[in-house]
Amino acid sequence: MNPIAERQMTDDILRPVLETSSKFYLIVALLGTFVAAGIGTWFYQVYNGLGVTGDNWPVFWGFHETNFVFWIGISHAGTLISAILRMVDAGWRRPVTRCAEAITAFALMIGAMFPLIHLSRPWLAWWLIPYPSERQIWPNYRSPLAWDFFAINTYLTGSLLFLLLPMIPDFALVRDRTTGFRSRVYRALALGWTGTPKQWARLESAMHIMAIAIIPVAVSVHTIVSFDFSMAIVPMWHSTIFGPYFVAGAIFSGIAALIIAMAILRKVLRLENYLHPIHFQNLGKLLLTMSLLWGYFVFNERLTTWYGNQPHEMGVFWATQAGRYAPLFWTMVFCNFILPLPILSIRKLRTITGCVVASCGVVIGMWLERFLIIVPGLGHKPITFSWGTYTPQWVEIVIMAGSIAAMGLLYVLFSKVVPIISIWELKAGERELEHMRAHAETQTAAAEATAGELV
Amino acid sequence: MPHRWGMAADLDRCTGCEACVAACHAENNIPTVGADQSARGRAMHWIRIERYWEGEFPEVDLKFRPVLCQHCDNAPCEPVCPTYASSHNEEGLNAQVYNRCIGTRYCANACEYNVRFFNWNSPVWEKPLHLQLNPDVSVREVGVMEKCTFCIQRINAGKISAEADKRELKDGDIKPACVQSCTANALVFGDLNDPESAVSRLARSTRGYKLLEDLGTLPKITYLQRETWHESNS
């Protein structure tokens, strides 16, 4: 790679970090308003009690818990995808990984807020921390909610490390290109990076360790989230399929979120030269695989329930299949399966626009899936006298909108502070390609020479 | 041997009068939430009378079933609570420690009988109803879960007065509010560890069954099946 092209690449990717347009402030203000509204609404809910939500007897969980599972699901975009792609050394991953890892970190932060938001007495949430107390009361380790607490904290720590490690060389790059206060901030963030071979070797091995460690953590975290439901004997919750079903769904919605985020970044930050259609196509293929896997899981879950014909479960089954929740259920099937399948399997349709359309469908569909897992089961427990339904109130809707805005806000601020494409990895990729090309050329030359000799 | 409190509900005797519901509200300081909140599923009745119609008019059959916390030996509500607010006490009751409740509402989701009730809003007692609050029972605040306690305050009072009189606790000494108020004597309360107690004898009845027995929750309330009869075939 010639130095001019390399310089051009660095300039292009660093431009959003170093130059700020008025649009940036506008977007931040807009998203910030929504986030503030969400936080304010949460305070309103804490002050007034959960009576302001739509939760009721017998549907004690609703939108807040749906959002919790949804965001934790979205968080599987990143770390898992980029860890797997790193491990199999897929070259096309290079411009994608940081977008993905950032989604993980932010979606997880937002998702982890919902267990707090849904508590009626959130100021006591610290009772989940196993601190030594003179009363010798510990958290109840038999409770899936306690498992959640540890699983999510582990995953958050791991994914933050996974995000931060490969940012060090890029921080050093920004440090060298800025002056004054900003330079000092990046100097601190770069942790004394000078780019010696020893530092590179350490970074590489640290990344390898994290990539391997984060995969089981990511799988276990969403399995444990699924345990919140499958451990209870609520009809259609108590299912052995939930672990893998949730993990598959999480990766599915995560890839979709990643495609949407990448498309927006590509447009807004003018990264057309780095995020190519091939990246969207490859992610589209992954999304297609997950869509098929998701369809397989849903088919399995529904068929075994229907065939088993247990009266307790059939109440929930028919409510989702043909009753009150049927419009949501069939919208979900459309969004997650019928819509993405042709778009992603026909090559002509698998364009950037096509992938984004399919991804939007998947994100909506996966949100509906989480809702349809939680609510109908609670509304149709075995005693028919206690059947009930759920209607969300404005409090839950505003908080949900705030959480979506928070994702946008964190992402916008992140792309302002950190190069959203890993510059050093991109360069390393280019160099690798050049090296391979040169290697191939010398080999052809050598082969020709040998052939000449033989002749 | 420790006590193991249980109940029997004779469905043949229950008239569905709901005196038990009113008595329970008065005894246990259970707030009433008003029509609007009730319609939104916020009503709290530690004991309720479920009414089921069976058959087609005019051959209709009306069935009542009082449902309260089943005080399961293998209670689904207990392991799911992350803070031990929902826990088993040594006399087999499913106790709820209000102060320890952080309001995850997981216990209520896990309970298949739907007999746990959440304080969605701050409880209010319109004057002069606040004067009739039972001083033996704590008033719960907004954001905590509550449920039937088998009138634990009456259990404790019964034990204390037996001890003061230097005598053993007799069967029938302790009556929860619902049992005391039941005009048809459909509800019987007592110690299941005493094989001769009225409730133990009823628990062994051939008419006895447990609610949602197949779930394996081991409830301590025995329902005595209704003998079906119609005026037409009598």
- pLDDT tens readout for residues B95-124: 999 999 999 999 999 999 999 999 999 999
Residue B212 near chain A (CB below 8 Å): yes
pTM: 0.93
Residue B84 near chain A (CB below 8 Å): yes
Give the model confidence (pLDDT) of A23-37 as tens digits: 899 999 999 999 999
Q: How many CB pairs under 8 A join A and B?
A: 130
Q: Between chains, do A120 and B118 touch, taking CB under 8 Å as contact?
A: yes
Phi then psi dihedrals of residue B91, to 5 deg: -100, 20
β-strand partners of B96 = B86
Q: A413: exposed, middle or buried (C-beta count within 10 Å: 0-12, 13-18, 19+)?
A: middle
Q: Between chains, do A51 and B41 touch, taking CB under 8 Å as contact?
A: no
Run of H or E including B188: strand B187-191
Global ipTM: 0.92
| Cβ–Cβ < 8 Å for B141, B161 | no
Residue A149 lies in a domain: yes
Q: What residue ranges do the domains of chain B occupy? A: 5-224
Determine the Cα–Cα distance for residues A249 and A366; give it in Å rounded to an integer.
7
pLDDT of residue B228: 65
Residue A4 lies in a domain: no
Give the model confidence (pLDDT) of A208-247 as tens digits: 999 899 999 999 999 999 999 999 999 999 999 999 999 9
Residue among B101, B109, B146, B218 with most chain A CBs within 10 A, to mutate: B109
Which residues of chain B have a CB within 8 Å of the CB of A60? 105, 108-109, 118
Mean pLDDT over all residues of chain A? 91
Give the model confidence (pLDDT) of B1-34 as tens digits: 789 999 999 999 999 999 999 999 999 999 999 9
Look at residues B170, B150, B146 and name the one whose alpha carbon lies nearest to residue B158: B170
Residue B139 near chain A (CB below 8 Å): no
Torsion (CA) A400, A403, A405, A408 in degrees, nearest 10? -140
Nearest CA in chain B to A383: B113
CATH of the domain at A280: 1.20.1630.10
Confidence of residue B234 (pLDDT cuts 50, 70, 90): very low
By DSSP bridging, strand B208-209 and strand B221-224 are antiparallel
Give the model confidence (pLDDT) of A389-443 as tens digits: 999 999 999 999 999 999 999 999 998 888 888 888 888 888 877 888 888 778 7
Res. B232: pLDDT tops 60: no
| Domain limits for position A268 | 17-127+138-428
Give the model confidence (pLDDT) of B195-217 as tens digits: 999 999 999 999 999 999 999 99
Average pLDDT of span A194-206: 92
Q: Which two tokens stand for residue A114?
A: 């919902």
Q: Is A96 helix (H, G, I), strand (E, B) or coil?
A: coil
Torsion (CA) A41, A46, A52, A53 in degrees, nearest 10? 80
Could you give the number of structural domains in chain A?
A: 1
Res. B229: pLDDT tops 70: no
Give the model confidence (pLDDT) of B47-81 as tens digits: 999 999 988 988 888 889 999 999 999 999 999 99
Nearest CA in chain A to B80: A143
Residue A324 lies in a domain: yes
Residue A54 lies in a domain: yes
Determine the Cα–Cα distance for residues B63 and B14; give it in Å rounded to an integer.
9
**The CATH number, out of the four listed (3.30.70.20, 3.40.50.720, 3.90.1150.10, 3.40.50.620), of the domain defined by the range B5-224:** 3.30.70.20
Determine the Cα–Cα distance for residues A101 and A163; give it in Å rounded to an integer.
6
| Cβ–Cβ < 8 Å for A265, A85 | no
Taking the CA of residue A163 and the nearest CA in chain B, the distance in Å comes to: 31
Q: A28: exposed, middle or buried (C-beta count within 10 Å: 0-12, 13-18, 19+)?
A: middle
- Sheet of B187-191: strand order equals B187-191, B5-10, B221-224, B208-209
Q: Between chains, do A385 and B82 touch, taking CB under 8 Å as contact?
A: no
